Structure 1
Amino acid sequence: MELVDQINRTIYFKDTPKRIISLVPSQTELLCDLGLEPFLVGVTKFCVHPHHIKTNVAVVGGTKQIQIEKIKALKPDIILCNKEENTKAIVEACQLICNVHVSDIFNVEDSVALIQQYGSIFNKKEEALSISNKIEREMESFNVFIQNKPVLKTVYFIWKNPWMVAANNTFIAYLLKINHFENVFASKIRYPEIDILDPASNENVDLVLLSSEPFPFKETHKKELQENYPNAKIVLVDGEMFSWYGSRLTKAFTYFKSLRLSLQNTVL
């Protein structure tokens, strides 16, 4: 079988891969939901869904730093990466071991395409179709729900010291947009550092979202930011829902509905 991954690399498969290493947490979750957990031989320390996965499967490092000798010893048939999560150096090192598939996700369509590719690669087409169809149904329902909801000027924080936000050209930015959350930093790219004391960054902001990952924002941080955003509602949100693709999207749109309903009486 021949397949082109999401950064246009052609991969050739003689047989269905049986020994899988995933270097991306959201893709690990997807593999398990496709019924491929028995074939996982390596994951990252950040792969936390399903909760037991790191107990049953070897941990081969993080998403930016890997234990290459440990990966070699596991004799994988395929290593699954992501352009944003993993570095070019990691992909190149892994390519010397076995086939490497690289995903690149900016929207739901990309995610559905990835799910279907995994279905083809691992002979799980029916399972992939079931997950894809559920995501598309959930998104269609959400689009009806959100269509008359007001647009809120929003800042989405991902890090503290330095303060960093999700800007344009990210999966988070895409999900903010479909939630009718107007990204205050849409003119910037990726994950810029910002000055929270700069009036230009906090003027007329309706909503501040503090992600649970990668920085674990807590209630204390809400109080810390309130004086910088005196007129905004500050909310802790589940970062996995805003940044994990794959099968997590089967749950995300229900979460987004609940989030919007919780806001409608306080921010309009």
Structure 2
Amino acid sequence: MIAMKDQVGQEHRFETLPKRIVSLVPSQTETLFDLGLEDEIVGITKFCVHPYHLKATKTKVGGTKKVHLEKIKLLQPDIIIANKEENTLEIVESLKGICPVWVTDVVTLDDNIQMIEDFGNLFNKRTEARKWIDKLNFAQRDFMDFVKDKNSYKAAYFIWREPFMVAGRDTFINELLKLNKFVNVYENREERYPEIELKKIRIQGDPEVVFLSSEPFPFTEEHAFEIGRFTHHGKTVFVDGEMFSWYGTHLYKAFDYFKQIHERLS
């Protein structure tokens, strides 16, 4: 008998080790693969692109906001891995009739470590999980040593257009901005992803760096020009959205990427 609580406090009990996994979040699919669970993964979303070959070898069950219940049912999963932010409560509730739905909630770096440790315990991959946790902790310490003498910048991180939206408080993106010594000018807003008016961006804090993400909205030079008209001296930096928003083992690649951003800014 395995009895564990997920990151939203749900109690789960399994008579045997869960062997058939449906993963509804791209970064979690990659993490499960990195823990040695490729054979156990039977269903993924159309956005699960790492590692790329899974798109050809696993059943696609929809996106993160809309899933095909019947496809998932036919896969006869033992467990479905979802996320509080990526998947809606409605989706999670509708899937509970098929099998247990394990929900992660990753806002901080500690939450990320907890998620990997939970997967290690849940799927009997404790050694693999420990190796990844050690790698991530080492990479984080190395990065913190690298960044300690770097300049701090006021920043805004754009994720969407029409309406313009930015990353705010209590988000994994904001956690990584803080790790980089970027002061998020929208951190004091109540919403996690506030809609903003470009003409008020200077009043909000006049960011020195404006990050335009590649996902979920693919910003272009045209959009940079549009936003740049309203910032005083802000420097625009196009960034790989995966590096700032994908948690799990993907974070390991992000630390070197962040170093490159600091080199560009200096």
Task: Give the TM interval when normalised to the shorter protein.
Answer: over 0.9
TM-score (norm 2): 0.96
Q: Please tell me whether the aligned partners of residues 184 and 201 of structure 1 are also in contact (alpha carbons under 8 angstroms).
A: no
C-alpha distance in structure 1 between counterparts of 2:220 and 2:99, whole Å: 41
Taking the TM superposition and a 5 Å limit, the aligned residue runs for 1:168-183 are: 168-183=169-184
When the two structures are aligned, how many residues end up with a matched partner?
Answer: 264
The one-letter amino acid paired with 1:224 is E
Does structure 2 retain, via aligned residues, the 8 Å contact 1:202–1:228?
A: no
Contact residue 196 and residue 202 of structure 1 kept, 8 A = no
C-alpha spacing 1:230/1:77, structure 2 compared with 1 (3 Å): same
**How far apart in 2 are the matches of 1:162 and 1:204?**
19
Given that residues 158 and 210 in structure 1 are in contact (C-alpha distance below 8 angstroms), is that contact kept between their aligned partners in structure 2?
Answer: yes
Aligned equivalent of 1:3: 4
Quick one: distance in 1 between partners of 2:203 and 2:156? 9
Aligned pairs for 1:1-268 (under 5 A) are: 1-188=2-189, 189-201=191-203, 203-264=205-266
Q: Are the aligned partners of 2:19 and 2:40 in contact in 1 as well (CA < 8 Å)?
A: yes
1:238, distance to aligned residue in structure 2 (A): 0.8
Identity of aligned residues (%): 48
SS in 2 for 1:63: coil
Once residues 218 and 132 of structure 1 are traced to their aligned partners in structure 2, the CA distance between those partners, rounded to angstroms, is 35
**CA shift at 1:208, angstroms?**
0.1
Q: Which runs of 5+ in 1 are unaligned?
A: none
Stretches (4+) displaced over 6 A: none
Displacement after TM superposition at 1:203 (Å): 4.9
In 2, the alpha carbon distance for the partners of 1:246 and 1:236 equals 23
For 2:92, what is the secondary structure of its paired residue?
A: helix
- SS of equivalent residue, structure 1 residue 37: coil
> CA offset at residue 204 of structure 1?
3.2
- Contact 1:168 1:186 (C-alpha < 8 Å) held by counterparts: yes
1:220, distance to aligned residue in structure 2 (A)? 2.5
Whether the 8 Å contact between 2:201 and 2:231 is mirrored in structure 1 is no
CA distance in 2, matches of 1:129, 1:120: 10
For 2:216 and 2:209, the matched residues in 1 are separated by 20
Q: Which moved more, 1:20-29 or 1:201-210?
A: 201-210
Structure-1 separation of matches of 2:135 and 2:251: 9
Where 2:42 maps in the other structure, the secondary structure is strand
Please, which runs of 5 or more residues in structure 2 have no aligned partner?
none
